[in-house]
Amino acid sequence: MLAVDGISVYHGDAQALDEVSLTVDEGAIVAIVGANGAGKTSLIRTIAGMHRPASGRITFQGNEIAGLPSHQVCNLGIGQVAEGRQIFPSLSVSENLDMGAMLPRARGARERNRQRVLAMFPKLAERLAQAAGTLSGGEQQMLAIGRCLMGEPRLVMFDEPSLGLAPTIVHDVLKTIRDLNAEGITCVLVEQNVAVSLKIASRAYVLENGRITLSGTGAELLADARVRQAYLGI
């Protein structure tokens, strides 16, 4: 579905990604594991069209997307739940959801998508008129996911979706990702809870200093001594 082929990305003079290649099969959950500063967010943002790679190719369902502006990438069906949630705090829950439905691909299906999102997150349905900034952290993350779903994505990239959330909510967020995947949405997951993310991942990549150093099935990486020592502390 998605193929990243040898992309290098710089922030000014600093190289964030060095010839990174990976593939995401339709229907998969692909985990990206790496320490702070490894380049995970840079990778997601590059796929999303927010950074232009200096070299390499990115193809999504056969379309070359590297260098396309982010609204065009979104409109092809690549959604993103960004690090830090990025909801609009002074807008209502309902208005935040509407912002996700502005893509041409999703405009016509706005009401259907809204019903689907509200069925998935009943808490949001109870708070439609409330300013998004007054929601709890977990509810804001649900709203960020709901807003992304309003754009009718085929692939969703989650960047640290459980960061800063209480442990019980972390479980809910990861269950939501599994449920979306079961409904047919392909997922790329960057998650600080490495053990959990590898458990739900069909495929996983380790990113170190901007390079992919290891890849395999989630189960293979979970059993790998290097991964266990570096990311699981066991």
Ligand X SMILES: Nc1ncnc2c1ncn2[C@@H]1O[C@H](COP(=O)(O)OP(=O)(O)O)[C@@H](O)[C@H]1O
Alpha carbon distance, N-terminus to C-terminus of the chain: 34
* Part of the chain binding ligand X (CB under 6 A), chosen from 29-37, 97-105, 118-126, 214-222: 29-37
Give 39 or 79: the residue with its C-beta nearer to ligand X.
39
Give 30 or 124: the residue with its C-beta nearer to Mg ion.
30
| 42: contact with Mg ion by CB under 5 A | no
| 96: contact with Mg ion by CB under 5 A | no
CB of 184 to Mg ion, least distance (A): 27
| 22: contact with ligand X by CB under 6 A | no
Name the region of 29 (left: φ>0; alpha: ψ -120 to 50; beta: rest). Answer: beta
Query: By the 8 A CB rule, do 57 and 215 touch?
Result: no
Rounded-to-integer distance, Cα 112 and Cα 191, Å: 30
Site size for ligand X (CB under 6 A): 12
Pick from Mg ion, ligand X, none: which does 132 bind, CB < 5 to 8 A by kind?
A: none
Written as one letter, the residue type at 16 is A
Pick from ligand X, Mg ion, none: which does 193 bind, CB < 5 to 8 A by kind?
A: none
| 14: contact with ligand X by CB under 6 A | yes
Angle ∠(70,165,224) on CA atoms, nearest 5: 80
Pick from ligand X, Mg ion, none: which does 119 bind, CB < 5 to 8 A by kind?
A: none
What backbone torsions phi and psi does residue 231 show, to the nearest 5 degrees?
Answer: -120, -15
Give 42 or 96: the residue with its C-beta nearer to ligand X.
42
- Footprint (CB under 6 A) of ligand X, residues 31-50: 34, 36-42
Give 101 or 204: the residue with its C-beta nearer to ligand X.
204
Give 35 or 223: the residue with its C-beta nearer to ligand X.
35
Rounded-to-integer distance, Cα 190 and Cα 34, Å: 8
* Part of the chain binding Mg ion (CB under 5 A), chosen from 16-24, 35-43, 144-152, 180-188: 35-43
Give 40 or 147: the residue with its C-beta nearer to Mg ion.
40
Long-range CB contacts for residues 183-187, cutoff 8 Å, separation at least 24: 184/27, 185/153, 185/154, 185/155, 185/156, 186/1, 186/2, 186/24, 186/25, 186/26, 186/27, 186/28, 186/29, 186/154, 186/155, 186/156, 187/28, 187/29, 187/30, 187/155, 187/156, 187/157, 187/158
**Residue at token pair 């990604």:** 17
| 41: contact with Mg ion by CB under 5 A | yes
Query: By the 8 A CB rule, do 181 and 27 touch?
Result: yes
Site residues (vs Mg ion, CB under 5 A): 40-41
Site residues (vs ligand X, CB under 6 A): 11-12, 14, 16, 34, 36-42
